[in-house]
Amino acid sequence: MLRALLTFWKFIPEIPAPPPLSSTALRYLRVGGAALVLLFTALLGPLLVKTQDSLNATLLVTAVLALPIGLVGFRIVTQFRSINVLLVLITCIFIPIGFQARGSYVVLSLILAALFLGLWLLRMLVVERRFHFVPGPHNWPILGFSLVVIISTVWSNIFRDVIIIVPTSLVFVQGASAMVMLCLVGLYLMVDNYFSEIKWLKAMVAILLAGGFFGLVNEFVVQTLPVQTRGTFTMWVMACTYSLVLFHKGLSWPQRLGMFALMVGWAYWSFGLRITWLASWLPALVALLTLSFMRSRKLLAGLILAALIWAVVNWSYVEQTINAETDESGHTRLEAWYMNWTVTSEHLLFGTGPGGYAVYYMTYFPTNAMATHNNYIDVISQLGLPGFIFYVWFFIAVAWQGFRLCRRLKGRGDFAEALANAAFAGTLGCIVINAFGDWLIPFAYTQGIAGFDYAAYNWLLMACIPVLDRITRTETHPTALAHAAA
């Protein structure tokens, strides 16, 4: 299996020699470098403060090394922007670390995403002197959603109910929650605007599958590897491996067996060991059924028939599992959604703000507060109807573009067709799991700010759809097609 996975690393592009810098690029680097030095200076002071009469040596060493490493890294990420996306993905999967701030755990991947997005905006402002994005049906809903996040953050503080008890940490929580929302949709735009060659998509899939392999090792062998496999990670690994097996005719049999073994391993984890937890296997089931349908209706019918036969043979176990899920989550979900509506119904314009409805809970019904575990309800509660409309609009636009892309690439039998189907199936899985968890946009008081790590998977991989759509439309001759299929 490992050998089959490692073959994908050949797709990761080598970093070429940097081209000469123009005067505008130099100005951009000077401004960015100055900003980096100021940020370093601002952060160094608090790090030097003693905690319990002892200096945190790790933080001090990190601070001292941060400036030279940061300046070198700044030069790289500004010249080779596609690497930024891969760095965020690698950090999400293999470096799930961070620090405590006001009771919230801020992860490194969020900091990197905010930094890279800030550099991108700075580049457009200083170098390009205009704000522009690659055309796509997702741009308006993302930009509208981002604007609503900013408005809602301010609005909710101005028009908050006067009797609400506001904790001192709310300002930080709201700011961090707003940053999480903006960075997640920003990652989608980064992938779409930075990737212009299919080799970057292959690199991203290679990183994901490597994480899938080491994640399985961590689950069943050593339990000590720093691999972030929460959220919809298992869905994306299963969707990519299953789609590659079904659609990529260029894979050798050892590669197919490796992909299939990886999928089966995570399927056993989701459908076997975590079957009582609906949110752990439902999105994966949706993705796998979608891929089966896209490949062959007979295949889908065969899988459904096999599942029905298994359910009949093991009916007592199935009934017990359904009852356990209903008792544990089913009834409480309905109660939580009703309770949330008592607050949301009074704040439909711009909501209670990012992470805002929690303080209403603590004031109005502190002993009965329950998280919604529903991204759709979370969005309308935090951002109001405008935010909800833009959010749903985005998923409809992406799903429709993905479906049309799969139809257009049908029969190619290459990596592009396989990834298009995986991204489309994963998008449908995300649409479904939106109703049963907050894994697309983590709520501050359930998944927490740290949920950015595994929420980012969804936005990075869904963005493969517009990139593939654009790349494959420019292929007009057999050589280009052969290059994409390699």
What is the pLDDT, as a whole number, of residue 98? 81
What are the tokens at 299? Answer: 């295949």
Question: In sequence order, what DSSP letters do the residues of 132-170 get, joined into one string?
Answer: -----TTHHHHHHHHHHHHHHHHHHHHS--TT----TTH
What is the pLDDT, as a whole number, of residue 217? 93
Provide the 3-class DSSP secondary structure of residue 356: coil
**Residue 135 Rama label (left phi>0; alpha psi -120 to 50; beta):** beta
If you average pLDDT over residues 290-319, what whole number do you get?
84
What is the pLDDT, as a whole number, of residue 358? 84
- Residue 162, amino acid: V
Which residues pair with residue 130 across a beta bridge? none
What is the pLDDT, as a whole number, of residue 399? 98
Q: CA-CA distance, 199 to 464, in Å (whole number)?
A: 12
Reply yes or no on whether the pLDDT at 282 is more than 80: yes
Question: Confidence class of residue 270 from pLDDT cuts 50, 70 and 90?
Answer: confident
As a whole-number percent, the residues of the chain with pLDDT over 70 amount to 78
Mean pLDDT score of the chain: 82
Reply yes or no on whether the pLDDT at 244 is more than 80: yes
For residues 402 and 4, the model is more confident at: 402
Global pTM reads 0.83
What is the pLDDT, as a whole number, of residue 478? 47
What is the pLDDT, as a whole number, of residue 292? 94
Backbone angles phi, psi at 281, to 5 degrees: -120, -20
For residues 88 and 53, the model is more confident at: 88
Which residues pair with residue 59 across a beta bridge? none
Type and span of the H or E element at 100: strand 98-101
Measured between its terminal Cα atoms, the distance across the chain in Å is: 20
For residues 234 and 13, the model is more confident at: 234
Which stretches of 296-368 are DSSP H helices?
A: 297-313, 315-325, 331-344, 357-364
Reply yes or no on whether the pLDDT at 127 is more than 90: no
Question: Confidence class of residue 479 from pLDDT cuts 50, 70 and 90?
Answer: very low
Helix 452-462 to helix 82-94 angle (10° resolution) is 140
What is the pLDDT, as a whole number, of residue 151? 96
- Residue 356, amino acid: G
Q: CA-CA distance, 378 to 248, in Å (whole number)?
A: 38
What is the pLDDT, as a whole number, of residue 47? 46
Reply yes or no on whether the pLDDT at 50 is more than 60: no
What is the pLDDT, as a whole number, of residue 484? 46
What is the pLDDT, as a whole number, of residue 430? 96
What are the tokens at 294? Answer: 């896209």
- Going by C-alpha positions, the residue among 318, 242, 331, 314 that lies closest to residue 285 is 242
What is the pLDDT, as a whole number, of residue 53? 41
For residues 266 and 333, the model is more confident at: 266
What is the pLDDT, as a whole number, of residue 273? 84
What is the pLDDT, as a whole number, of residue 363? 85
Provide the 3-class DSSP secondary structure of residue 19: coil
As a whole-number percent, the residues of the chain with pLDDT over 90 amount to 49
Reply yes or no on whether the pLDDT at 71 is more than 60: no
Q: CA-CA distance, 153 to 151, in Å (whole number)?
A: 5
Look at 5-19, 256-270, 418-432 and tell me which has the smallest mean pLDDT: 5-19
Return the C-alpha torsion angle 95, 265, 259, 402, nearest 10: -70
Compute how many other C-beta atoms are within 10 angstroms of the C-beta atom of residue 41: 10
Question: Confidence class of residue 223 from pLDDT cuts 50, 70 and 90?
Answer: confident
For residues 172 and 75, the model is more confident at: 172
Q: Which tens digit of pLDDT belongs to each residue from 11-48? A: 444 444 445 555 665 555 555 555 655 555 555 455 44
69-73, 247-251, 446-450, range with greatest mean pLDDT: 247-251
For residues 134 and 322, the model is more confident at: 134
For residues 311 and 266, the model is more confident at: 266
Q: Is 145 exposed, middle or buried (0-12, 13-18, 19+ CB in 10 A)?
A: buried
Question: Confidence class of residue 161 from pLDDT cuts 50, 70 and 90?
Answer: confident
- Going by C-alpha positions, the residue among 128, 40, 145 that lies closest to residue 81 is 128
What is the pLDDT, as a whole number, of residue 4? 47
Residue pair 173/102 in contact by the 8 Å Cβ criterion: yes
What are the tokens at 230? Answer: 């929460």
Buried b (16+ CB within 10 A) or exposed e, 50-75: eeeeeeeeebeeebeebeeebeebbe
What is the pLDDT, as a whole number, of residue 401? 98
Compute how many other C-beta atoms are within 10 angstroms of the C-beta atom of residue 247: 26
Rg of the chain in Å (alpha carbons): 23
What is the pLDDT, as a whole number, of residue 30? 58
What is the pLDDT, as a whole number, of residue 11? 42
What is the pLDDT, as a whole number, of residue 421? 98
